Amino acid sequence: MGSVLSHIGQRTAEFFDSVGRLTQLYFQTLYLCFCPPWRIRLTIEQMVLIGVMSVPIALLTAIFTGMVLVLQTGTQLKPMGMKVYASGISAISFAREIGPVLTSVVLAGRVSAGITAEIGTMKVTEQIDALKTLGTNPISYLVVPRFIAATLMFPALTILAIAVGIGGGFVVGVTILQITPGMYITNIWKFLTLQDYLSGLFKTIFFGMIVGTVGCFKGFETGFGAQGVGEATTQSVVMSSILILVANFLLTTWIIQIFP
């Protein structure tokens, strides 16, 4: 019994220690974002890797999710003769929650893993130690560009994902549910407001921060060898996904209180 309690206590201490170091890295990064040198070229390169290269997987996820959402909603409303409202209801759900959260979780699997693997490999091959020897701050050189890129590109990708998801739902609504195009679009304009759209985009700013910070944090925490890189990559994806879901609940609660 004593060994079990000792193990639980050790794991709990490790958890809070990890949370503390992650929080410290976040605030250090946030501070260095406003301090020179401005690494614009590195930031643009990361925006391409994180944003442009993630467009296919983000849009594929969005279009099929939008199609399924409209199909399921319309099927449930059809017996009540209200299938025409499937477009508006689905658009609100996709803009507020499904689009931002699902897109961010999918991107976390690609972006967070890629960042962790890259920085973890640099640590294993002692490139980070070389940066310190040259007088370069690893956080400023490695973390800040990725943090800024993720923070900027997650909302941009979400804008595309929401538009494509609603477009995919339009195809299903017109072809399978037999809703007229005019009625489908009219109900979207009737139900979906700018506040719905902006509330979803607002949350993705924080989701991008989470993915950028966690990916870099796990990269710095990587153990030695190929096994260490693999374990850190897996932990990065899991932690990013969980934190996105937790943050989504907290942010949604806060937004609803301010904009009921």
Place of tokens 């391409």: 48
DSSP conformational letter for 82: -
Sign of the dihedral defined by the CA atoms of residues 129, 131, 137, 142, in that order = negative
Give the model's pLDDT for residue 36: 84
Give the model's pLDDT for residue 215: 94
The answer to whether residues 222 and 120 touch, using CB atoms and an 8 Å cutoff, is yes
Question: pLDDT digits over 231-254, tens only?
Answer: 899 999 999 999 999 999 999 999
**What is the tally of structural domains in the chain?**
1
Give the model's pLDDT for residue 15: 75
Q: Residue 225 is part of which domain span?
A: 2-258
- Whether this model's pTM surpasses 0.95: no
At 128, which helix (H) or strand (E)? helix 127-133
Q: φ, ψ for residue 12 (rounded to 5)?
A: -65, -45
Residues of the chain falling short of pLDDT 50:
none
